[in-house]
Structures are given as structure tokens and as C-alpha cells.
């Protein structure tokens, strides 16, 4: 299977994916990494690994639609659409248009640092603390046009502890993200995940 990873910054989830592929010998080729920010630290790391990298800077486009066309073109150049690559959003901080999503039906996945449907959007750790949540975590889901509501593939849970700050909680969640995302990538690329007619993600066709 081929994947293209989209990042916007640090890229620790991307690193966790690449390292899991190497360590576990997963039959997955990282065809490329695309960032919407030229200065994303994750890009330099991927380059150092010899992974083809592209920047599609959203500042250079008049609108979301134009950016998304260029983004899709960069992805297709790295991994031809005929090979049905997976588009893996790993800390990619741009909302995608319906037009972009339609280019890769049921092939785009995202990691969100909260237990969806709780705490969609930004500042998820702050949201969880303010809500007094005792449990928090991360979700990997298919990307659909409505933000953070696509079919949930898997979640990982962490406790919220007394004295937690946003930073402490974020670090605890991130550690789980780094375990959850490679696990889901393995399922996806082994074709173990399907989306039902009702729009639910099913593992091995189970219910």
C-alpha cells in the first residue's frame, strides 16, 4: 500500500508512522510528505529520511478551493491516484473542501486529539479540562466534508489527572496518538477497514 502523509508542523505523528512501518516491517510505502507550511519541522525530518517532500503553501492561493486543487495535484504526483493511495492527515491543520475529499473517497484519515464526538475543533485539551472530563484521548477517523465527524475507526483513552495542565494532558494524549495511528494504518493498508452504508467504519466487516 502507498500513503501520502500531510503535516503542518512538528510531525511527531508522521515520525511515529514512518518508524512503525520500519520497525514492524509493514508493507507500506510512504510515497511522500506534503506540508502546507514551508517551515514545518517535520519536513526536514522526512527529507533526512529520504522521503519525497512537497510544500503547498496555503498563503500562495486565493482561496481554499485553489489550495486544495494544488494539494491534490501534489499528492497525485507523489502517488498516482490509480494506485489508490491513502491520504493520512497527521497534524495537518487546514480544513479541506468537499472537492478535495471527493478526489479520495474513503481514503483520507485524520487523527484528532480528543474522544470524538466530544471536543471537536481546536484546543481540545483545554476543552476537556474545562468540561471536567475524567477521560480524554485521541480518535482516528475518516475525513468527510463536515469537520471532525467522519466515521470513527479507533480511539485511545487516557485519564485526566488532578493537577493536569493543558501541556501535561497533551503529552499524555500524544503518547497514545503515536501508538494508535500506526495500529490503524496497519488495519487500513491491510484492507481490514470498510465503511458501511450507514457511514460507520467496520473492522474486518464486523458490526
Extract the annotated binding site for (6R)-10-formyltetrahydrofolate: 64, 110
Cα 7 to chain center, whole Å? 8
* 36 lies in the binding site for ligand GRF (CB under 6 A): no
* 182 lies in the binding site for ligand GRF (CB under 6 A): no
The residues that are catalytic are 112
Q: Alpha-carbon distance 57 to 61, whole Å?
A: 8
Minimum CB distance to ligand GRF, residue 23 (Å): 18
User: Contacts with ligand GRF in 57-96 (CB under 6 A)?
Assistant: 90-91
42 Cβ contact partners less than 8 Å away, ≥ 6 residues apart: 7, 9, 10, 11, 12, 14, 15, 33, 35, 91
Q: Alpha-carbon distance 55 to 53, whole Å?
A: 7
- Exactly one of 3, 11, 136, 140 binds ligand GRF (CB under 6 A); which one? 11
* 150 lies in the binding site for ligand GRF (CB under 6 A): no
β strands within the chain, DSSP E: 2-7, 29-35, 53-55, 86-89, 108-112, 135-142, 152-159, 193-195, 201-203
- Exactly one of 5, 13, 36, 151 binds ligand GRF (CB under 6 A); which one? 13
- Exactly one of 3, 9, 17, 45 binds ligand GRF (CB under 6 A); which one? 9
Q: What are phi and psi of 155, to 5 degrees?
A: -135, 155
Listed residue (104, 110, 114) closest to 135, CA to CA:
114
The window from 10-18, 58-66, 78-86, 151-159 that contacts ligand GRF (CB under 6 A) reads 10-18
The window from 55-63, 111-119, 151-159, 195-203 that contacts ligand GRF (CB under 6 A) reads 111-119
Residues that bind ligand GRF (CB under 6 A): 7, 9-13, 90-91, 111-113, 174, 177
Amino acid at each position: 500500500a502507498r500513503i501520502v502523509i500531510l503535516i503542518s508542523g512538528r510531525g511527531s505523528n508522521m515520525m511515529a508512522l514512518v518508524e512503525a512501518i520500519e520497525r514492524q516491517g509493514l508493507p507500506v510505502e510512504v510515497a511522500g510528505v506534503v506540508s502546507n507550511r514551508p517551515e514545518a519541522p517535520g519536513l526536514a525530518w522526512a527529507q533526512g529520511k529520504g522521503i519525497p517532500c512537497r510544500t503547498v503553501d496555503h498563503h500562495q492561493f486565493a482561496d481554499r478551493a485553489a489550495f486544495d486543487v494544488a494539494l491534490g495535484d501534489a499528492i497525485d504526483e507523489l502517488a498516482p491516484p490509480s494506485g489508490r493511495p491513502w491520504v493520512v492527515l497527521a497534524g495537518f491543520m487546514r480544513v479541506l473542501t468537499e472537492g478535495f475529499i471527493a478526489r479520495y473517497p474513503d481514503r483520507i484519515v485524520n487523527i484528532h486529539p480528543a474522544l470524538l464526538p466530544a471536543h471537536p475543533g481546536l484546543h481540545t485539551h483545554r476543552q476537556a479540562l474545562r468540561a471536567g472530563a475524567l477521560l480524554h484521548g485521541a480518535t482516528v477517523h475518516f475525513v468527510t466534508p463536515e469537520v471532525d465527524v467522519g466515521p470513527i475507526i479507533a480511539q485511545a483513552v487516557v485519564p485526566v489527572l488532578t493537577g493536569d495542565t493543558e501541556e501535561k494532558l497533551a503529552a499524555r494524549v500524544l503518547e497514545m496518538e503515536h501508538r494508535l495511528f500506526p495500529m490503524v494504518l496497519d488495519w487500513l493498508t491491510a484492507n481490514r477497514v470498510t465503511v458501511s452504508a450507514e457511514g460507520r467504519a467496520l473492522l474486518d466487516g464486523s458490526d
